Amino acid sequence: MNNQIEERKVDHIRVCLEENVQAQRKTTGFEDIFLVHKALPEIERKQIGLSTVVFKHEFSAPLLVGAMTGGTEKASKINAAIAEAVEELGLGMGVGSQRVAIEDPRLEGSFAIAREKAPTAFLVANIGGAQLVDGYGAKEAKRAVKILKANALAIHLNPLQEVVQPEGETNYSGVIDKIGEITRALEVPVIVKETGAGIATEEAKKLEEAGVAGIDVAGVGGTSWAAVEFHRAKRTRDKFRQRLGQTFWDWGIPTAPSLVEVARSVHIPVIASGGIRFGTEAAKSLALGASLVSMTAPILKATTKGPEEVKQTLQFVIEELRNTMFLVGAESVLKLQEKPVVLTGKTAEWLRMRGFKPELYARRKA
């Protein structure tokens, strides 16, 4: 059982590094979103502050590295490289699903290394929603947090991946009640995250009611798990799974509309993710109501060159974010969150059809 999960994890990293697993026919929707340029920014770029307090933790900039891996030797190196970089930059990171280490304590080190390398960064433990239905409870959730000395626990939802992979766990009945149990049992905040298919307003409200402390939308536009499974199926010449992977490649809610749906429906912090690659997109996310922004695939690529490359990739995004803030005259993250945003095209159409009023963002006082 464990070997099977470990092999799958190795496969995921290999496929994500070697193949194109990004959304193909759909985009994040950020190309429909415009911040309003200010020819008179009336601020000094050097004095722009990016620090922000979320989940009672001070981040030097509103950036996280998304949940990715653990359980293997290679994963250990990846976690160490990310941890070193986020510690130096004062950011946060998630580790991949800790199921392997909960089932085999010998693998704990590949996750715990993140805390060794990042004693003060915001670290997010990770377990799967499907495992909660399958018997996991407070004990396993607490174990995941303890292994990492984590600041928060993420419960990931990946129904799309579960229906396109051969070993898929497709029983999600009662998952919301189990999530509620975990939020009541844990002392750290519980974040619920998708994995690339987005979250809608209906689910966001249920999650908030269940006591969840934060929601990471992880929408369509970046890494596609159907694509990852397509490539795995191609290798094993599994024709049906290849077809499923192709059919569902772009399934889900694009990141920008998902972010607005969630941010307008709940009062808890929202994390924007799914295909976010540039500081300009991070800035748009914050202006649309995100408290933090998370990126995964580009950071995986950077880890192949070591912690310095990870640090530089994150620094580029931070500098792009700072420049964007200068160009809209926002000297702090809080100010950026109040700036006008124009939503156009398919994203605006989606939101209108779903009962939201995109023009409210456009008419904010600059």
Ligand X SMILES: Cc1cc2nc3c(=O)[nH]c(=O)nc-3n(C[C@H](O)[C@H](O)[C@H](O)COP(=O)(O)O)c2cc1C
Q: Which stretch binds ligand X (CB under 6 A): 32-40, 107-115, 230-238, 271-279?
A: 271-279
> Which range, of 64-72, 105-113, 201-209, 264-272, touches ligand X by CB under 6 A?
64-72
- CB contact burial 123-151 (16+ within 10 A = b; e otherwise): bbbbbbbbbbbeebeeebbbbbbebbebb
Least distance from ligand X to the Cβ atom of residue 154, Å: 6
- To ligand X, the closest distance from the beta carbon of 22 in angstroms equals 7
- Looking up tokens 């496929």, which residue turns up? 15
Residue with the closest Cβ to ligand X? 222
Nearest to 282 by CA among 28, 57, 81, 89: 28
Please report whether residue 226 would count as binding ligand X according to CB under 6 A.
no
Q: How many residues sit close enough to ligand X to count as binding (CB under 6 A)?
A: 26
- Which region, judged by CB under 6 A, interacts with ligand X, from 165-173, 216-224, 232-240, 349-357? 216-224
The answer to whether 214 contacts ligand X (rule: CB under 6 A) is no
Q: Tell which one of 161, 265, 273, 291 touches ligand X (CB under 6 A).
A: 273
- 300-319 residues in contact with ligand X (CB under 6 A) are 300
Least distance from C-beta 299 to ligand X, angstroms?
8
Q: State yes or no: residue 291 binds ligand X (CB under 6 A).
A: no
Answer yes or no whether residue 68 interacts with ligand X by CB under 6 A. yes
- In this structure, how many other beta carbons lie within 10 angstroms of the beta carbon of residue 255? 34
Q: Which is nearer to ligand X, 196 or 214 (CB)?
A: 196
67 is a site residue for ligand X (CB under 6 A)? yes
Stretch touching ligand X by CB under 6 A, among 133-141, 237-245, 274-282, 315-323: 274-282
Does 222 help bind ligand X (rule: CB under 6 A)?
yes
- Measured from the CB atom, the residue of 217 and 330 that comes closer to ligand X is 217
Question: According to CB under 6 A, which residues from 171 to 210 bind ligand X?
Answer: 193, 195-196
Report how far residue 62's alpha carbon sits from residue 286's, in angstroms, rounded to the nearest whole number: 9
- Shortest distance in whole angstroms from residue 340 CB to ligand X: 26
Work out whether 110 is an interface residue with ligand X (CB under 6 A). Answer: no
Using CB under 6 A as the binding rule, whether residue 164 contacts ligand X is answered as no
In this chain, which of 275, 289, 307, 358 binds ligand X, going by CB under 6 A?
A: 275
Owner of token pair 């974010």? 321
Of the residues 69, 72, 242, 337, which one makes contact with ligand X according to CB under 6 A: 69
Residue 223 contacts ligand X per CB under 6 A: yes
For position 156 contacting ligand X by CB under 6 A, the verdict is yes
Binding residue for ligand X, selected from 33, 192, 256, 297, defined by CB under 6 A: 297
Binding site for ligand X (CB under 6 A): 12-13, 16, 66-69, 96-97, 126, 154, 156, 193, 195-196, 218, 222-223, 273-276, 295-297, 300
